[in-house]
Amino acid sequence: MTESFLHYIWQFQYFTKKDLCTTAGETIQIVHPGIRNTHAGPDFSEAKVKIGDLEWRGSVEIHIKASGWNDHKHSDDAAYEKVILHVVWENDKPISRSDSTLMATLELKNRVDTALWSRYKKLFTSTDRIPCSSSWRKVGDLVKLSMLDKALTQRLEIKAGVVIEMLKRNQGDWEETAYQLLSKNFGFKVNTDSFLRLAESLPYKILLKHVDQPRQVEALLFGQAGFLEKVKADEYTRVLVREFELLEIKYGLENKRLHKSQWRFLRLRPANFPTVRVAQLAAVIHQRKNIFSTIVNTIDYKDLFAWLTVQQSDYWKTHYQFGKLTSSVPVLGRSSIQNLIVNTAVPLLAAYALTHDDQAYMDRAVDWLQQIPAEKNTITRQWTELGYTAKTSFDSQALIELYNAYCMKRRCLDCTVGASLIQPV
C-alpha cells in the first residue's frame, strides 16, 4: 500500500460508503473530499464532512497506518489543528489531538475493491520506462490530449520559473536575462553551463557598447571564454588578442575569465564546436540588438525565425578552431534556430505572461510551439514506438514533460492516462 494510492482513492471517492462510520462508531457523510494540497501541511484542504449530527469544514490527513500521525509529529504542528478527519488504510492505534480529544478516523482497508489496488500495483511496479506501455493504445485520444495539455502547461510554468529566478538575480533586467538565456542555449546541452557562465561573467551592457564593432564583440566573447589563451596565431587571432587585452583591463574582467578546460569538444561534430557556437552568438549580438524587446514584440513566428537567421563572420565560415583552416563551416541551421526559439523565446514569453498576468503572451508561446516541427530524441522515439508520433514542438515538449515528470517518477495516479487505467470499471 502507498499513500499516493490512498490520496487517489480519497480524491475520487473510490470506496464503498455503505454504513460509513468512524472507528469510534460515529456515522460519516462526505459532502466534499477537499482540494489536494501539494505543499506542506495536511493532504486535503477545504473538505466538508458530516460526523454524527455535525458538519465540519477543514482539512483531511491521510496515512497508511494511523500511527503515522505520531510518527510525523503532527500533534506538534499547528498546521494540523484544523484536521477534521484522519483517513487511514489501517487503524493500528487510536490517535488523539493535542487537547487529548480522540481524532475522528476513517479506516479504508475493507472498503476498497482489491482489483483497483491490483491495477495500480501493475502500473507502479512495471519495469517499462513508460509504465502504461502495454495499455497505452487502449486509452482514448481525449484522455491523452487532456494529459498532454496539462503536461505542456506544467513544462511552460517550470521553464518560466527558471527565467523568473534568473530575472531576480539580474535585478529585473529583462535584456540581461534574455542574453544569458540565449547564450546558455547556444551550448546545445553539451556546453550549456559553460555558455551561461560566459554570459554571467560578461554582462550584456558591456557588449552593447561595442555592438557596432564585430571584432570587438568577438574579442570579448572569445577572450572571456578563454579561447584566446596560448592560441595558434594568424592575423585574425592577433587582432582579437590585441582587442581583448585592452577591453579586459577596461572592464575589469581579468579574474572572471573562463578556461579552455571548461569547454567540451570531445565527441561533438565540428559544426557544434563551442568555438563555432561562440562565433554564431557573436553574430546575433552584433547583427540583432535588443534581444528581449525583439522577442516580446514579435508576433509572427516567421519573423522571429528570420531574426535569428544570421551568419557567423567570414573567418568562422572556414575555421572550426583558431588557426585551423577547413573548406567550409555550416551557418546556424534551421533545426538549431528552432531549438533556440523553443528553449529561449518560448520560456521568455511564458515568464513575461506570468509576471505581467497577460495570457496573450502565453498564447503566443503556445502558438509558436505549434508551428515548430517536433524534436526527435530518445524520449519522443519511445512514444513513437507506442504509436503516438509528435507532429509539432507542442507535442514533443508535452511528451518530454509527461515522460520525465510522470512516467519516470511513477506518478501514474497524477496522470489522466494512468488514472483512467486504474479507475473502477
Q: Is 90 helix (H, G, I), strand (E, B) or coil?
A: strand
Residues 6+ apart with CB under 8 A from 161: 351
pLDDT of residue 232: 78
At residue 424, does pLDDT exceed 90?
Answer: no
What stretches of 67-173 show up as alpha helix (H) in DSSP?
68-71, 114-124, 141-169
**Count of H helices and E strands in the chain?**
18, 8
Q: Where are the domains of the chain?
A: 3-112, 155-371
110-138: b (≥16 Cβ within 10 Å) or e: ebbeeebbebbebbbebeeebbbeebbee
Quick one: which of 198, 347, 339, 343 has its CA closest to 282?
198
Q: What is the mean pLDDT of residues 184-190?
A: 95
pLDDT in the model for residue 98: 79
Residue 420 to residue 65: CA distance in whole angstroms: 27
What is the distance of C-alpha 232 from the center of its chain?
41
Whole-angstrom distance, CA of residue 357 vs CA of residue 267: 44
- Between helix 3-12 and helix 114-124 the angle, nearest 10°, is 130
Question: Among 327, 307, 308, 309, which Cα is nearest to 317's?
Answer: 327
**Distance of alpha carbon 417 from alpha carbon 348, whole angstroms:** 30
- Where are the alpha helices (H) located in 34-140, listed in sequence order? 68-71, 114-124
Q: Could you give the maximum distance between any two Cα atoms of the chain, in Å?
A: 91
Mean of pLDDT over the chain:
94
Neighbours of 170 (CB within 10 A): 18
pLDDT band for position 38 (cuts 50, 70, 90): confident
Q: d(Cα 182, Cα 154) in Å, to the nearest integer?
A: 22
pLDDT of residue 383: 95
| pTM score | 0.84
Give the tens place of pLDDT for each residue, 380-407: 999 999 999 999 999 999 999 999 999 9
pLDDT over 90 (residue 67): yes
Q: What are the grid coordinates assigned to 121, written together?
A: 500495483
Nearest-10 crossing angle of helices 346-355, 359-371: 160
- The model's pLDDT over 86-117, given as tens digits with 9 standing for 90+, comes to 999 999 999 988 788 899 999 999 999 989 98
- The more confidently predicted of residues 304 and 424 is 304
Q: Give the C-alpha distances (Å, rounded to integers) separating 284 from 211, 280, 332.
A: 10, 6, 10
List the alpha helices (DSSP H) in 17-79: 68-71
Quickly state the pLDDT bin for 173 (edges 50, 70, 90).
Answer: very high
pLDDT over threshold 90, residue 200: yes
What pLDDT was estimated at residue 254?
86
What are the helix (H) ranges across 251-377? 274-287, 291-297, 301-308, 334-340, 346-355, 359-371
32 has a pLDDT exceeding 90: yes
Query: Could you report the per-residue pLDDT of 131-169, keeping only the tens digit for each?
Result: 999 999 999 999 999 999 999 999 999 999 999 999 999
Residue 51 has pLDDT above 90, yes or no: yes
Residue 317 has pLDDT above 80, yes or no: yes
pLDDT of 39 > 90? The answer is: no
Q: For residue range 344-385, what is the model confidence (pLDDT) as tens digits?
A: 999 999 999 999 999 999 999 999 999 999 999 999 999 999
- Confidence at residue 298, expressed as pLDDT on a 0 to 100 scale: 96
